[in-house]
Amino acid sequence: MGDYIELTGMEFYGYHGCLEEEREKGQSFFVDLVMRLDLSAAGRTDDLEKTVNYASVFACVREIVEGEPKRLIEAVAEAVAEQLLRDFPLLSGLRVTVHKPSAPITGKFRDVAVSIERARA
């Protein structure tokens, strides 16, 4: 059991991919986050300083996904996890899912996604 903050369906436009066309044209990426932290102090005090400001988290994720292109969405997820753990010391762990619904696959599919879980060392 634990406490969590979730941000789901964050949409950004990025230029990640192995193919030259993906890196030139770009595409939409969706990110879901589940952040683990103790929310008891925030709940008792109603104090934003006792939790993680999810607007700041959103801005951090946007900077990464809309920033420097990477070949793999695995690398995008890892960059998000590393940055959030570095910038938000109240986080004890998180799960990052990066969705690439327009992946260059011949055939019918709804989504391609990777999920990683990382914890503070």
- What residues are annotated to the active site? 100
Give 36's DSSP letter: E
Residue where the block lists tokens 């327009």: 102
**In angstroms, rounded to a whole number, what is the distance separating the alpha carbons of residues 67 and 59?**
12
Q: How far is CA 83 from each of CA 2, 63, 89, rounded to the nearest angstrom?
A: 22, 10, 11
| Positive or negative: CA dihedral 53, 54, 56, 60 | positive
